[in-house]
Amino acid sequence: MKEVDMTLIRIDETRCKKDGLCVQECPAGIIKQADRESVPLMIPRGAQACLLCGHCVAVCPHDALHHETIPMERSPKIAEDLAISQAQAAQFLRTRRSIRRFKNKPVDRETVQFLIDHARYAPTGGNSQLVTWTVHMGTEKLKNISDLTIAWMKAALASEAGSALPPYFPMIVAAYDAGINSITQNAPCLVIASAPGKYDNGMVDLSIALSYFELMATAGGLGTCWLGLIARALKHSKPLMAAIGLPEGHSHFYPMVLGYPKFKYHRLPERKPAKIFWK
């Protein structure tokens, strides 16, 4: 194979049709083509600006572009027969529910790994891919996390700031004391997506990743629920933060429970109309 070696990006000249697609597609503008008769080349020091997004590999119809960190063998061809219609996508997106009643059935590690392995394809600012996952498995561990959240809620209610807390706080605490866990909903698994505090887009990136996670969970017959209560408690409770054990400096985070839904849904509930300002 005759190749123009550019270290990070190599073009197979025997395959390249010089259509310039990689040149037009590259978001960093590091691939250039002298004219329509020339094979594209990576510009000098282009590697430093490369986002490692793999768009150049994905857009080439001729398998001519090799990227050192986005190998072709790990960048599979898009299977046209797996494409879904917009009608299928519309129903699927509306099918996702916040699950608060779970079967008494554990989720295995491979299943969680599978969901995270797909959530990592969510977009990230500058393709930074800094989202990290902390996973707690088993109802006992989750009960401890619920206990610590309730302990913080009780302390917050008893404090001067208690009157400024949401009106449902006392109800959740009373229900918990009566044996109803509205914190982790008796789910068998808790995941916390987090990102370094110094990274500006951390909260956005991890939120999108969690959305991918829960959509993949839905597709696999599992259910999830975002946990605003734990997210809030985590900002204040050191014992809870210690029990969760996030990586050092990860001040962007959000928790989500995962398990097998107890109930099946038969309708797609309506939501408010979209608020749009056309300009």
Considering only residues 15, 18, 97, 262, which one is a binding residue for ligand FMN as defined by CB under 6 A?
97
The order of strands in the sheet holding 9-12 is 3-6, 9-12, 65-67
Quote the least distance from Cβ 228 to ligand FMN, whole Å. Answer: 3
Q: Which is nearer to ligand FMN, 9 or 99 (CB)?
A: 99
Quote the least distance from Cβ 95 to ligand FMN, whole Å. Answer: 10
Instruction: Give bridge partners of residue 136 from the DSSP assignment.
Output: 190
By CB under 6 A, the residues from 99 to 158 that bind ligand FMN are 100
Q: Which is nearer to ligand FMN, 26 or 122 (CB)?
A: 122
Quote the least distance from Cβ 100 to ligand FMN, whole Å. Answer: 5
Quote the least distance from Cβ 227 to ligand FMN, whole Å. Answer: 5
By CB under 6 A, the residues from 225 to 264 that bind ligand FMN are 225-229
166 binding ligand FMN? (CB under 6 A): no
Tokens encoding 12:
């197979």
Residue 7: how many CB atoms within 10 A of its CB?
9
Asked whether the beta carbons of 139 and 183 are under 8 A apart, the reply is: no
189: Cβ contacts below 8 Å, ≥ 6 apart? 106, 107, 112, 135, 136, 137, 138, 142, 257, 258, 259
Distance CA 80, CA 62 (A): 17
Considering only residues 14, 24, 88, 98, which one is a binding residue for ligand FMN as defined by CB under 6 A?
98
